[in-house]
């Protein structure tokens, strides 16, 4: 409870409450801090600890080489970071909750609603304004002297994106998150109905009997109102569950143009050495343990497809059997395929 007041006559008391911890620095203290060689969950744990609450993390692990909190309060900083990688955050039941909306959109519906359930004056809207059929991402990291490019989707409405990234994996996550975030809410439905206590934000409901308006909807917001002549009511802000774009067409990590101009006209091997980009047939010194994947696409996405093998590549010297999408196929036996790693 962060605010209360009295008025009369008759005497009445009003109470206001917020889920965000009002007694901590979570939304009030601005800080500047650099986080290095960490991940999204670890940063969340530090933020939650400072707020005096717990962290509930239900999203994919996202490695972060370096990120700066620049004169921001913890709430704004962490929420923007979570959104940057395509996830969502809310404060619920004394916890910072980080979750993947895409996963929740695929969960079973908890209620089936028809027009007979709605109060009058419900509204439905669909629009292609501000939505996209694909994304084209390009960003040059001057410190690493690398340019990351990512393309996904197709068609005429292409979103351009150049948000900062430290590696190709991060760039891919940012590009897909920006595209799917822009497309979220293409079709919306707002309605009020007799109170349904079990309908809450992040749940899904099924709308039937409305022709092309019917379908599976995600609950963005549920407002429960009790009292007055209308009794118990639930107001819902819904968005239709749309197919997300998750497959990447092309992705690459290349030496920035300023370094390419400095290359000598020597042999291919010396070019590879000066740029620091391994090519097929080179030897490669692996300095840290990396996960090994069956395909380059899996290595770039950081995710194993069902049924495909995976393993690890430990520090040592390997042969480069092949390269693709900025990924490396490392092998201990020359001219024999090995496993794919993400070198970034």
CATH number for the region 18-99 comes to 3.55.50.10
- Above 50 in pLDDT, residue 159? yes
- Any bridge partners for residue 242, and if so which? none
| Residue % of the chain over a pLDDT of 70 | 92
Residue range 176-203: average pLDDT? 94
- Above 80 in pLDDT, residue 264? no
- Above 90 in pLDDT, residue 339? no
- Above 50 in pLDDT, residue 272? no
- Above 50 in pLDDT, residue 289? yes
pLDDT in tens, 69-126: 988 999 999 999 999 999 999 988 889 999 999 999 999 999 999 999 999 999 999 9
pLDDT at 276: 56
Name the pLDDT band for 304 (thresholds 50, 70, 90): confident
Q: Cα–Cα distances in Å, from 43 out to 27, 50, 68, 94, 145?
A: 16, 11, 11, 18, 27
Identify which of 200, 280, 283, 279 has the alpha carbon closest to the alpha carbon of residue 234: 200
Count of Cβ atoms closer than 10 Å to residue 203 Cβ:
18
Residue range 253-259: average pLDDT? 70
Exposure string of 98-130, with b = 16+ CB inside 10 Å and e = fewer, is bbebbebbeeeeebebeeebbeeeeeeeeeeee
Q: Which helix (H) or strand (E) holds 150?
A: strand 146-153
Among 31-35, 115-119, 184-188, 322-326, which is the least confidently predicted range? 322-326
CA distance 344 to 336: 23
Residue range 255-275: average pLDDT? 44
Residue range 170-176: average pLDDT? 94
Residue range 334-343: average pLDDT? 82
CA distance 95 to 87: 16
Among 173-187, 200-214, 237-251, 264-278, which is the least confidently predicted range? 264-278
Contacts of 312 (CB under 8 A, 6+ apart): 289, 290, 291, 292
- Above 80 in pLDDT, residue 313? yes
Averaged confidence pLDDT in the chain: 87
CA distance 211 to 191: 17
> What's the longest Cα–Cα distance across the chain?
91
Handedness of CA 202, 208, 210, 212 (dihedral sign): positive
- Above 50 in pLDDT, residue 273? no
Among 121-125, 249-253, 286-290, 333-337, which is the least confidently predicted range? 333-337
- Above 80 in pLDDT, residue 23? no
Q: List every span in the chain annotated with CATH 3.55.50.10.
A: 18-99
pLDDT at 257: 60
């Amino acid at each position: 409870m962060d605010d209360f007041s009295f008025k009369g006559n008759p005497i009445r008391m009003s109470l206001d409450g917020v889920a965000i911890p009002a007694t901590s620095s979570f939304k009030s203290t601005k800080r500047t801090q650099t986080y290095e060689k960490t991940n999204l969950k670890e940063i969340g744990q530090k933020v939650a600890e400072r707020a005096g609450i717990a962290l509930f993390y239900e999203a994919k692990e996202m490695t972060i080489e370096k990120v700066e909190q620049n004169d921001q309060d913890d709430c704004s900083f962490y929420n923007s970071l979570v959104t940057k990688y395509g996830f969502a955050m809310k404060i619920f039941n004394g916890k910072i909750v980080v979750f993947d909306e895409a996963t929740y959109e695929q969960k079973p519906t908890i209620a089936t609603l028809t027009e007979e359930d709605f109060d009058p004056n419900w509204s439905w809207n669909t629009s292609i304004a501000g939505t996209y059929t694909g994304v084209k991402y390009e960003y040059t990291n001057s410190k690493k002297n690398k340019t990351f490019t990512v393309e996904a989707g197709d068609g005429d409405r292409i979103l351009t994106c150049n948000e900062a990234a430290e590696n190709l994996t991060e760039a891919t996550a940012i590009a897909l998150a920006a595209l799917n975030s822009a497309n979220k809410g293409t079709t919306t439905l707002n309605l009020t109905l007799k109170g349904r206590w079990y309908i809450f934000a992040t749940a899904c409901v099924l709308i039937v009997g409305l022709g092309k308006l019917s379908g599976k909807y995600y609950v963005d917001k549920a407002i429960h109102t009790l009292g007055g002549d209308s009794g118990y009511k639930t107001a819902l802000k819904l968005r239709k569950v749309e197919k997300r774009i998750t497959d990447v067409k092309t992705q690459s990590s290349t030496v920035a143009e300023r370094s390419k101009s400095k290359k000598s006209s020597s042999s291919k091997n010396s070019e590879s050495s000066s740029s620091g980009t391994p090519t097929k047939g080179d030897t490669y010194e692996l300095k840290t343990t990396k996960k090994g994947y069956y395909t380059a696409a899996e290595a770039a996405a950081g995710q194993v497809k069902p049924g495909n093998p995976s393993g690890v590549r430990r520090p040592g010297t390997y042969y480069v059997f092949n390269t693709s999408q900025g990924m490396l196929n490392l092998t201990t036996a020359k001219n024999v395929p090995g496993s794919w790693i993400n070198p970034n």
